[in-house]
Structure 1
Amino acid sequence: MAAEVLAAGGAAVTVYEAMPSAGRKFLMAGRGGLNLTHSEPLPQFLARYGEAALRLQGAIDAFPPGALREWCEALGEPTFVGTSGRVFPRAFKASPLLRAWLRRLDAGGVAFAFRHRWTGWDDKGRLLFQAPYGPSSIDAAATVLALGGASWPRLGSDGGWTRMLAQKGVTISSLRPANCGFTVAWSEVFRTRFEGEPLKGIALVFGGHTVRGEAVITRTGIEGGAVYALSAELRESIMATGEAILHVALRPDLDRGDLVKRLSVPRGKQSVSNFLRKAAQLSPVAVGLLQEAAINEGLSLSSLPPGRLAELISAVPIKLAGVAPIARAISSAGGISLDELDADFMIRKLPGVFAAGEMLDWEAPTGGYLLQASFATGAAAGRGVLKWLAI
């Protein structure tokens, strides 16, 4: 995005890319449908960035969700708003959009140098790269760093840049998993039977926040959209205290009194599992989760009175023991402190060097907020370079 803004402004631009092709993480983001942005009103949209909202507001105001949709349509990929308010290209994938974008960049004179991994600067301030035919150096009038965070490192961004910028005195907040899963010490029986099974139509509760959606049981813990929405708070709790107790409402749409009434029907000769499946419409994995929680608390589901059983169904406790590795996270928190940047996204301690995207210290939930801020800060950095070069 920075390259597009720069080329349109008359600059000669080369994109140095560590991987053999462009946009690999962009393509990964499109595996589930390429959620580009969100249609909610801008004040609510900006609030999703938490403490970073004020620092990102200028960039997003200048390139808001509506502008991103227009940009996408100009590339021949019209968008639509899903039932959740999320915005997707009609093709529902990233590859057609990326191909059209690369064609337009090429037509605009943007050059690409693939398999060039940036390794820092030499003593004359030139950019250093490890290239296919050995080290090379480039003397650039200005530089935009868009090096990503540290999630999915096999796609190119491994966070190695943090060391190089820290050596220049730039304040870096450690990179941490965001929109990530968490580890749980499941019993072997539960893990073996329910690994990969989804918990649908649930509500997750933590720290006064409630999120509706789905989660997935993994071999080592739990992940999924509803978990990701709470991941920042859960991560910080685990970092501070070593654990977090997440509560799961298995039937959030069912009135408590109605649930107690259903559970008060005589069970007869039915097993507990069959009874819960019929009376409360719980899936096998939901029943398994209940049994797991009951065992951990020294309880027996079959001996619980209807009121206590309803209470447990409405708030199943799961003890999260750790955060899943950053390599498997959707995104990462941390990076260059936003205080290190001026209003044009130039790093104050490195005149002529700008930064954009996930390498900056902000985080947001899934839902289109990640790509929107990456696009917007890239465009802002491009405008900043044009201003710096007085083009």
Structure 2
Amino acid sequence: MSKQVKVAIVGGGPAGLFCAYELLKNNIEVHLYEKTGGVGKKFLVAGNSGLNLTHGEELSSFVKRYGVNEARFKKYIEDFTPMDLVNWAKELGTETFIGSSGRIFPKKMKAADILYQWMKALKDHPNFHLHLKHELEYILDDGDLVFRHEHAQKIVRADYYIFALGGGSWKKTGSDGKWIDYIEKLGVETRKLKAMNCGFEVEWSSHFLEKVDRGFVKNVIVTSRGESARGEIMLTPYGLEGGAIYAISNFVRDEIDEVGEGVISIDLKPDLTFKEVLEKVTKRGKDSLTNRLRKGLGLDKVALALLYEVLDRKKAQVDKEYLAHVIKDCLITARRTRPMDEAISTSGGVCFSSLNEDLSMKINDRYYFIGEMLDFEAPTGGYLLQGCFSTAFQVAKSIKGKLNV
């Protein structure tokens, strides 16, 4: 490089921070602007009880988690793989391990530990400049960015601009989706933000609400529109949450949008065939229905409350095939998604149709977009975070390529 190149990154979440980390390797001057008083707030909240960095499954299966964007993310994730993410964490001083579910965690588990190491590495670099409490207000016609800082405006000019503004959930962390308007004025097409990896509202009966406040039903398979996920679900006074529900949430949400409600099928005994369930509920002929289900199938009180919400108990006493069928296909109707601000992530945002393969704008390749503000969907379990890292890597790679460094 004949002159010092300046890159402005807007947004201090994992995508923005990792892009900064990669650019600094080549001594590029990086200015990172964050609207709140600290970086990585959503990263910290999400990783408070255990930070799931990525997932250890084969890449051929991994990339299918990105749905309609599988082909695009196959390229991004092959360029920066889950193993690359593990090695990066090790580079910072964080060892990882693979859990029984295939998810990859830091050994210390807490997001705060890795963020501390991460920020130390950035701040120790002389070309890194952090600007907190700088909120992007608009973009001038000549391309300069205008920030609000301490009741005054600041104009920022750079050689390249990277937007890492997050989605529209967990507003208290700075991820509020307000960027849609001024990003559209750049000439970028966007899609409306919607809840993803979210819970759903169910109109439970008063009897159910008397029985259950909050409780987990573990090791079930949930299905919506032919798409299934295995894991646990949480029953709440307002509806359904939990990892398995989040994994199919986009399908349930879309059905609600299209027809006004979404049907979720729950297989309460996925390791047993219909015939095996039928045999078990038929064996204990003289037991009460509850004892038959508790002793024969190992259903606890939370699972029983869910089953009884759907079951016609009189019919189940005499029609064992009906009983077995409902156990294997317990249908719950979701009426609404929970508020978007409660969602773990959001769908919608910047459309890939407006971007080049390297995530720069087609009409002005000095502007880039990374992370959750891109219009893609990925479930929890490390896939969403891997997508943020891999898109950030892609942009850093593109800029370094343009600069021949």
Give me the TM-score of the superposition, normalised by structure 1: 0.93
* AA in 2 matched with 1:287: L
User: Which residue of the partner structure matches residue 283 of structure 1?
Assistant: 300
Matched, 1:384 2:398: yes
Could you list the per-position Cα deviations for residues 30-80 of structure 1 after superposition, in whole angstroms to 9, with x for gaps in the alignment?
Answer: 123211111112121111111112222332222111111110001110111
Query: What is the CA-CA distance between 1:273 and the residue it aligns to?
Result: 2.8
CA contact (8 A) 1:59 1:376 kept: yes
Does the C-alpha gap of structure 1 residues 190 and 8 become closer, same or farther in structure 2, counting only changes over 3 Å? Answer: same
Deviation at 1:17, TM superposition (A): 0.3
1:370 matched to 2:387? The reply is no
**Alignment partner of 1:55 out of 72, 75, 81:** 72
Confirm whether residue 330 of structure 1 aligns to residue 347 of structure 2.
no
CA distance in 2, matches of 1:119, 1:390: 33
Equivalent residue, structure 1, for 2:152: 134
- 2:165 equivalent among 147, 158, 168: 147
Corresponding residue for residue 114 of structure 2:
97
Larger CA deviation: 68-77 vs 195-204: 195-204
- TM-score for the superposition, normalised by structure 2: 0.90
325-334 or 339-348: bigger deviation? 339-348
Instruction: Report the more deviating stretch, 28-37 or 358-367.
Output: 28-37
Contact 1:172 1:335 in 2 (8 A): yes
Q: Which residue of 1 aligns with 2:4?
A: none
Whole-angstrom CA distance in 2 between matches of 1:117 and 1:142: 18
Q: What is the RMSD computed on CA atoms of the aligned residues?
A: 1.9
Please list, as runs of the form range in 1=range in 2, the aligned pairs for 1:1-391 lying within 5 A after superposition: 1-109=18-126, 110-265=128-283, 268=286, 271-294=288-311, 300=314, 303-388=317-402
The 8 Å contact of residues 21 and 114 in structure 1, kept in 2 or not, is answered as yes
SS at match of 2:100: coil
**Residues 1:101 and 1:262: Cα distance change in structure 2 (over 3 Å):** same
What amino acid sits opposite 1:325 in the alignment?
P
Distance change (3 Å), C-alpha of 1:126 and 1:5: same
Q: Is contact 1:145-1:356 (8 Å) kept?
A: yes
C-alpha distance in structure 1 between counterparts of 2:337 and 2:94, whole Å: 37
Conserved 8 A contact 1:352-1:388: no
- What stretches of structure 1 of length at least 5 have no aligned partner? none
Deviation track 1:132-171 (CA, whole Å, cap 9, x = no partner) reads 2422221222111000011211111111101111223210
Alpha-carbon distance in structure 1 between the residues aligned to 2:317 and 2:72: 55
Classify 1:217/1:139 alpha carbon distance in 2 versus 1 (closer, same or farther; 3 Å).
same
Output the CA distance in 2 between the equivalents of 1:302 and 1:39: 42
Please state how far the C-alpha of 1:2 moved relative to its aligned partner. Answer: 1.2
Counterpart of 2:239 in structure 1: which amino acid? G
Q: What is the alpha-carbon distance in structure 1 between the residues aligned to residue 315 and residue 395 of structure 2?
A: 58
Match of 1:112, as an amino acid? L
Over the matched positions of the two proteins, sequence identity in percent amounts to: 35
Tell me how far apart the structure 2 counterparts of residues 220 and 304 of structure 1 sit (CA, whole Å).
32
Greater mean alpha carbon deviation, residues 3-12 or residues 221-230: 3-12
Change in 2 beyond 3 A, CA 1:114/1:259? same
Q: Distance in 2 between matches of 1:315 and 1:380?
A: 43
Per-residue deviation at 1:307? 1.8
Could you tell me whether the CA contact under 8 Å between 2:316 and 2:323 is conserved in 1? no
Instruction: Tell whether the 8 Å contact from 1:334 to 1:359 is kept in structure 2 after alignment.
Output: yes
CA contact (8 A) 1:8 1:108 kept: no
